[in-house]
Amino acid sequence: MSRPIIEAQQLSKVYGALPVLRSIDLAIEKGQFVALLGANGSGKTTFLRLLAGLTKPTSGALRIGGWEFPKEAAAVRAQIGVVGHQLLLYPALSARENLRFFARLYNLSGRAAEARIDALIERVGLGLRADDPVRTFSRGMGQRLSIARALLHNPHILLLDEPYTGLDQDASAMLDSLLQEAYAEGHTIIMITHGLDRAARLANRAVILSRGKVALDLPTAGMDERLLAAQYAAALQTAEGIRG
């Protein structure tokens, strides 16, 4: 059996005197679509920021794609694409200029990079607006471009932090299909969401965090929203009850 693409062992993060993540043990296999669930303040974003290489663990070990973080940070970062609730794009630059800039940060340039940029712009349905400034885009268009930016270097892992924030139904449906495509292509996806319906529909595994610990880790295959909601409520109740 191959090694998990993400391995967290006794991973903890403390801000000042406040423990945000407490000894998390988690292994995520290549190609999984994991929904990261939990109440506000449960440590989801901090966990995702650790995986994205944006913050360092206070203690514990984190290996991504076989590379140790933060020791081999460059190798870890090269395998990760991030989509947030912010667009992570420059409003004054056009869609193409944004992708070109971020491509250079991943050492991609020349014809291959241009071809990749063109293909991604077409894939996210922005072919006709490729040379328009991002500030003229709707929230949905911006988020689609954000996905294209995250996929530029063809990362093994896609990290998404509440990517559906502020999207209308059509834009959400488009984002759903883009994520399903990325999943079908074999990308490992970890997505923070508060939408249990979406978690049940898109993901094949749900990890529920509570007070910085994994309260429940379960497969979601064949699970509908109601069943997941029941499991979610029970897990939180148990976790809160145990810790007091």
SS3 at position 61: strand
Cβ-Cβ contacts under 8 Å for 62 (sequence gap 6 or more):
6, 7, 8, 9, 11, 50, 51, 68, 69
Nearer to other proteins, 20 or 215 (CB): 20
Helices (H) and strands (E) in the chain, counts: 8, 10
Residue 93 interacts with other proteins (CB under 8 A)? Answer: yes
Per-residue mark of binding to other proteins, 117-136 (x: CB under 8 A):
----------------x---
Near other proteins by CB under 8 A, which window of 1-9, 18-26, 51-59, 188-196?
51-59
- Beta strands 59-64 and 6-15, pairing class: antiparallel
| Bridge partner residues of 64 (DSSP) | 6, 67
Residue 55 interacts with other proteins (CB under 8 A)? Answer: yes
Tokens matching residue 79: 């395998």
Nearer to other proteins, 94 or 193 (CB): 94
Near other proteins by CB under 8 A, which window of 94-102, 192-200, 210-218, 230-238?
94-102
Q: Which residues bind other proteins (CB under 8 A)?
A: 52-56, 65, 67, 72-75, 77-80, 82, 84, 86-93, 97, 101-102, 104-107, 133, 149, 153-156
